[in-house]
Amino acid sequence: MTNAAPLIGFVGLGNMGRHMARRLAEAGHKLIAFDINEAACAEAAGHGMEIAGSPREVADRAGIVLISLPAPLVVREVLLGAEGLVAGTAVRLIIDLSTVGPALAENVAASLAARNIEYLDAPVSGGTTGAAAGTLAVMLAGPDDALARAEPLLAVLARSQTRVGPQAGQAQLAKLINNMLFGTHLVAALEAMAMGVKGGLDPTRLLAVINASSGRSYITETRIGPAVLQRDDQVRFATGLLHKDMQLGLTAAKESGARLWTNDSAGAFLSQAMEKGFAPRDYTAMIEIFEDWNGVSVLANPAQEQT
């Protein structure tokens, strides 16, 4: 007679977490999950997961718990609140897939260590598409034994795992730097496309020039075509989340004394977008701001595309 497979905990079944939890369940792991959204819990139950009534219940039943949550204050409450994971009797390792910033990661790691619970700083990149396909990139910071225990689970979720250091917070910093670059590339690409149309260029042909030349980036190669020129309106990554990551990055730079220029400008633009109500919309929807400023429409011309 063999022992039953151990329960794996998962807290946070939102746009990213629901895909990651599903992949773990489909890979044969037995999960107990929690989210405040009842519909998300019902979907998880449909994939064979047990549903807990609180984060603490998850941590009472599972030795390893993964979390994927949208904001630093939520992460703090889920980890350290009265009904949080820190109060659980079974949990010994928490894998934090959220983006919370270096300071909070360091703080919660110390608080959990006092309760003999290891914390693995493990933010991810790749968006909902990567979460669904299991092709995320995960940045890791933490002790060797935590990395070894987490590796088989992360292998189900990610195409790459990169350890950036031993201390909690170091992976957060790497993730924020990545997302700050993403944000600056995005803002630069959107304004450049609007500039080209303002000057009389066809946006489809301008994009072809950029993608065949040195100005290309992930944004121009994968997002401007479908999401801007075709305006597909799919929410891959909400503007509000990008703004949150940018602000966390700017705060980390200030705390370390690092001097910035372009990232400050991109952060200011994202703050304007938030004031204009773009928070729930996909980040590419911000092309509308440049269109309004320039009096142009950055849309593909179907007839032009065929010539």
- Active-site positions read 175
Angle at 136 between CA 28 and CA 123, to 5 degrees: 100
User: Which residues make Cβ contacts (< 8 Å) with residue 24, sequence separation at least 6?
Assistant: 8, 10, 31, 66, 153, 156, 157
Q: Which of 164, 171, 84 is nearest to 122 (CA)?
A: 171
The distance of Cα 20 from the centroid of its chain, to the nearest Å, equals: 12
Place of tokens 């933010």: 123
Distance (Å, whole) CA 68 – CA 97 = 5
Angle at 283 between CA 213 and CA 96, to 5 degrees: 105
Distance (Å, whole) CA 70 – CA 271 = 18
Distance (Å, whole) CA 91 – CA 65 = 7
Q: Counting beta carbons within 10 angstroms of the beta carbon of residue 28, is it exposed (0 to 12), middle (13 to 18) or buried (19 or more)?
A: exposed
